[in-house]
Structure 1
Amino acid sequence: MSEMNHQHFGHAVMPQATHDEQAMEDHFLSMRMWTNRNLDPLDRRLLDEVIVPQVTAKTGTAPKSSAQVRQALEAHPLHQLWLTLSLFYQDRIWQVLDGAIDRQFDELAAKVDEQVAAPKGSLRLNPDIEIPRYISAIDHHRMPGSYTVDTADKDFRAGALYDRFASTYLRNLNGGWKNDGRGHTLASHVHDFYPDLEVRRILDLGCSVGHSTVAIAQAFPNAEIHAIDVGAPMLRYGHARAEAMGVAIHFSQQNAESTDFADGSFDLVTSSALMHETSAKGMRAIMKECFRLLRPGGVMCHVDVPPRHEHLSLWDQMRCDFESHYNNEPFMTSLARTDWVAVAENAGFAREDVEAGYRKGTFFLKPDRADFFTAGDPDGRTLLGSWYACSAVK
C-alpha cells in the first residue's frame, strides 16, 4: 500500500488518510451515493406502488404508518438489497477509518498530549460515572465501541474515530470537516429569538468531541463555555481538538440528566443531536435539568434530527425507522412522535415561552427568522437541509 499522505486537512489532531485509505473511503462513500440516488427512488416506488396496494387489499384500509407496511416491505428482495447495501457501506467506512487510526495511534497520542500541555480550557473526568444504559448498551451509528469504550490508557480513540467519520460521511452536508452546521444553526436560532439575551456562561450537553460547541463558542465570544459528555475518550479528544482550534472550552464527564453544576448557574443551555440518542425518560430528565441549571430569564435550546412523524411520507417514516431498527439509533422513531413542547412544559417552562419547529441549516451565524418554520410537506422537500429546534426561556 502507498504511504503517501494527502495534504493535511482539519486541525492538528485530526486523523489523516493515506492515498489508499482515502481511496477506500471514497469507494464506500460512492456506494452510499449510488444507493441514495438509484435504489432509494426504486424502494420508494416499491412501497408506494406494490406494498401499499397489497396491504390495502389485505386489510381494506390504506396504511398510514410505516409500522403497517414494514413486514411486507422487508420481505421483498429489492428492499432487502437496499437494507444490505445501506448497512454494508456504513460498516466498511467505520472499518477503513478504524484501521487508519490504528496506523497512526502513537503519532496522534503525541499530538493530543502536545495540544493540552498548556490549555486555554480544561478537562475534568469522573472514572466513577455511571453510564446510562441507553448509551452503554449500544454501538451508536454502528460505531465500534461507541462513545465510552477505552482501548488504552488516556484513550482518545472514540473521539478521533467519530470526528473523522463525521467529516467523511457527511462531507459538506453539515459544515465540511468541522461538522459544525448544527452548532451554527443553534446559535443562529438563539440570536434570532433571543437577541437581548445576556450570555456569560453556556453549557453544551452531550457535546461528543465539541463539533457544535466550538461553533457556539464562536457565536458568543465573551461567554465562558462548559461542555459535558459521558464518554471519556470523546472528551479527551474533544479537549485536544478545541485547543488545536484555539477555543477555550471547559469539558467535564457528566450525565446530562443530573450534573454537578449549581442551580441557576447558566444563561444558555444547549444540545445538538443529543435527544435522539436518549431514552424518553432520559429526555424528560434532561429537560428538567435544563430548567434547574438556567437562571431566571435564561434560555435552553436544542437542535436535533429533523424527522417529525406527522410530516413524513410512508417511505420517509420507514427511512426513520431504519435508523432505529438497523443503525443503532433506537430512540429516533419515538422522538419523531414526541411532543417537545409538552416535554418542555412538564419540565417547568411555560408553554407560551417554548418555540419548536424546523430550522434551515447554516454553516455560519445567520439569525434569519425566515429560516424557521413549523410545518413540512408530505414528501419532505421542505425539510431537506433542516434541523428540528426547540427553545424556551425560563
Structure 2
Amino acid sequence: MLRNAPDHYGHAVMPQANHDEQALEDHFLALREWTARNLDPLDRRLLDEVVVPEVAEALGRAPGKSSEVRRALEAEPFHQYWLTLTLAYQDRMWHAIDESIDRQYDTLAEEVNKHVAAPLGSLRLAPDFVAPRYITAIDNHRMPGSYMVDTAEDDFRAGALYDRFSSTYLRNFNGGWKNDGRGHTVASHVLDFYPDLKPKRILDLGCSIGQSTVALAAAFPEAEIYGVDVGAPMLRYGHARAEALGAAIHFSQQNAECTDFSDGSFDLVCSAAVLHETSTKAMRAIFKESHRLLRPGGVMVHVDVPARHEHLGLWDQMRLDWESHYNNEPFMTVLARTDWMEVAKAAGFAEEKTAVGYRRGVRELDPKREDFFTKGHPEGRTMLGSWYACSSVKD
C-alpha cells in the first residue's frame, strides 16, 4: 500500500507555489487551454480551406502528408502567431517554475534528505556514466537544462522541475498531480492482455522521476520494482519522491539500451513515453534489451505518445511534427512512422504473440479490452486520451 500524500499540494518533496507563483502557473495553463480551444480550430481551417487547395493546385493532386504542406502553412501569418504562442506559454511556465524552485531549494533539499534517510527502496548512481547523444544534444521538451545537468552537489533540481511542470502542464490529461496515467495505462494493459501474469520483478525503462513506476508499484504490490534512467538529478529526486509516497523502488542510472541486469531476470519490462525521446537505432536496441531481460513467458509493454501518421489528418500530422521541428522532440515524427511490429519481431518477439495499437489512457487501474484499437479509436480520438502501445510475450 502507498501512504497518503501530505495535506499540501502533491507530496512532501514536490515544489510548492506561493500565491503569485500559483497564479502565474494557472495563467499559462489557461493560455494553453484557450489556445487549444480557440486557435487550434482556426489554424485547422487555415490549412484545410486555404493552404491545401493552393498546394493541391501546385501538385496536381491532393496532398497526403504534412511534409507537403508545411512550407506553405508556415508562410501564413496566423500560423506563425499560433507557433509563437504555443511555444511561449510553455517556455514561460518552465522558467516560472524554475524560479520558484530557486526560492525553496534549501527547504526541498531538507525534505529530500529526510525521505531517503531510511529508504524502502534504493538508489544506485554511476559517477562516470556517459549518456547517449540523443539525450545530451538538446534540452528535451525545451526543459531548461534537460535531464542531465547538475547545478549543485547531490542535485535534484531537474527532477523537481519536471515533477511540478508535468503536474501542471498535463493536469487534465495524465492523471492529475501525480502525472501517473501512463503507469496506470501500462498496468491496465498487462492485467487486460496477460491476466495470468503474476510479476515478481518489474523493470521500468527510462523511468524519469518514477511517476509511472510508482503507479506500477501500486498495481503490483507483491513485485520488486526497478527503474532505470540516464539523469542523476532525475533519479535523486525520483528516489525521494517514491519514498515520500511509500513506494519501495530500486532506481539506478543506466542506459535502457544496455543495462547491467542479468539475462531473464524480469517478469515484466516496460516503458512509458520514452521511445519518442530516443533515436530509431536506440528504439530497436531497447526492444532487444527488453527481450534479453525477460524470462521465458515474461511480458514486454511499451507505450508512447505518437499516433500513427496514416491514421491522422493533415493538421494532426502537422501538430505531431511540431514536436519534432520546434519542441525539441526530434524523434517524434520518425516514431509515428515506424512499424512497431517489425521492431518487435526483429528483437525476437513472435508476431502472433505481439499486440500493437491504441490504448485508452486511464487515471487509475482500469483493465478493459474494449479500450484497445489497432486502427485508432473509431471516433477518431487517436491523439488525445490514448497511447500507442506494443506488448508481447517472450517465448
TM-score scaled by length of structure 2: 0.97
Partners of 2:26 and 2:224 lie apart in 1 by 39
Matched, 1:104 2:99: no
Residues 12 and 244, structure 2, Cα contact 8 Å, conserved in 1: yes
Residue type at the aligned position of 2:172: N
Residue 172 of structure 1: how far off its partner (Å) = 2.5
Residue 219 of structure 1: how far off its partner (Å) = 0.7
Residues 52 and 62, structure 2, Cα contact 8 Å, conserved in 1: yes
The alignment partner of 1:171 has SS state of coil
Partners of 1:376 and 1:248 lie apart in 2 by 36
Residues 202 and 226, structure 1, Cα contact 8 Å, conserved in 2: yes
Matched, 1:253 2:248: no
The residue aligned with 2:215 is 215
Partners of 1:94 and 1:101 lie apart in 2 by 11
Residue 381 of structure 1: how far off its partner (Å) = 3.1
The residue aligned with 1:93 is 93
Partners of 2:111 and 2:297 lie apart in 1 by 41
For each residue in 1:273-327, what CA deviation from the matched residue of structure 2 results, as whole angstroms up to 9, or x when unmatched?
0000000000000000000000000001011104110111000000000000000
Partners of 1:286 and 1:196 lie apart in 2 by 25
Matched, 1:172 2:172: yes
Matched, 1:36 2:36: yes
User: Paired residues, what number?
Assistant: 388
Partners of 2:21 and 2:58 lie apart in 1 by 50
Partners of 1:48 and 1:90 lie apart in 2 by 26
The alignment partner of 2:296 has SS state of strand
Matched, 1:146 2:151: no
The alignment partner of 2:172 has SS state of helix
Partners of 1:191 and 1:58 lie apart in 2 by 51
Q: How does 1:180-195 map to 2 (within 5 A)?
A: 180-195=180-195
For each residue in 1:361-392, what CA deviation from the matched residue of structure 2 results, as whole angstroms up to 9, or x when unmatched?
11111111011111126983355311111101
Residue type at the aligned position of 2:310: E
Residue type at the aligned position of 1:319: R
Residue type at the aligned position of 1:275: L
For each residue in 1:40-63, what CA deviation from the matched residue of structure 2 results, as whole angstroms up to 9, or x when unmatched?
000000000000000011111110
The alignment partner of 1:355 has SS state of strand
Structure 1: segments with no counterpart, 5+ residues: 1-6
Residues 268 and 298, structure 1, Cα contact 8 Å, conserved in 2: yes
The alignment partner of 1:333 has SS state of helix
Residues 358 and 377, structure 2, Cα contact 8 Å, conserved in 1: no
The residue aligned with 2:334 is 334
The alignment partner of 2:15 has SS state of coil
Residues 312 and 379, structure 1, Cα contact 8 Å, conserved in 2: no
The residue aligned with 2:311 is 311
Partners of 2:161 and 2:365 lie apart in 1 by 27
The alignment partner of 1:147 has SS state of coil
Matched, 1:279 2:279: yes
Partners of 1:224 and 1:311 lie apart in 2 by 38
Residues 356 and 389, structure 1, Cα contact 8 Å, conserved in 2: yes
The alignment partner of 2:388 has SS state of strand
The alignment partner of 1:28 has SS state of helix
Residue type at the aligned position of 1:190: V
Structure 2: segments with no counterpart, 5+ residues: 1-6
Residues 313 and 378, structure 1, Cα contact 8 Å, conserved in 2: no
Residues 311 and 377, structure 1, Cα contact 8 Å, conserved in 2: no
Residue type at the aligned position of 1:134: Y
Partners of 1:229 and 1:130 lie apart in 2 by 12
**TM-align CA RMSD:** 1.1
Residue type at the aligned position of 2:295: R
Matched, 1:133 2:130: no
Partners of 2:246 and 2:283 lie apart in 1 by 32
Matched, 1:325 2:349: no
Q: Identify which range, 232-241 or 370-379, moves more after superposition.
A: 370-379
Partners of 1:254 and 1:350 lie apart in 2 by 27
The residue aligned with 2:4 is none
The residue aligned with 1:387 is 387
1:88–1:100 Cα change, 3 Å: same
Q: Identify which range, 274-283 or 360-369, moves more after superposition.
A: 360-369
Matched, 1:265 2:261: no
TM-score scaled by length of structure 1: 0.97
For each residue in 1:160-197, what CA deviation from the matched residue of structure 2 results, as whole angstroms up to 9, or x when unmatched?
00000000101131110000001001100001111111
Identity %: 73
Partners of 1:115 and 1:330 lie apart in 2 by 36
Return structure 1 stretches of 4+ with deviation > 6 angstroms.
none
The residue aligned with 1:70 is 70
The alignment partner of 1:174 has SS state of coil
Residue 29 of structure 1: how far off its partner (Å) = 1.1
Residue 147 of structure 1: how far off its partner (Å) = 0.5
For each residue in 1:251-271, what CA deviation from the matched residue of structure 2 results, as whole angstroms up to 9, or x when unmatched?
000000000000000000010
The alignment partner of 2:170 has SS state of helix
The residue aligned with 1:156 is 156
Q: How does 1:282-293 map to 2 (within 5 A)?
A: 282-293=282-293
Residues 189 and 367, structure 2, Cα contact 8 Å, conserved in 1: yes
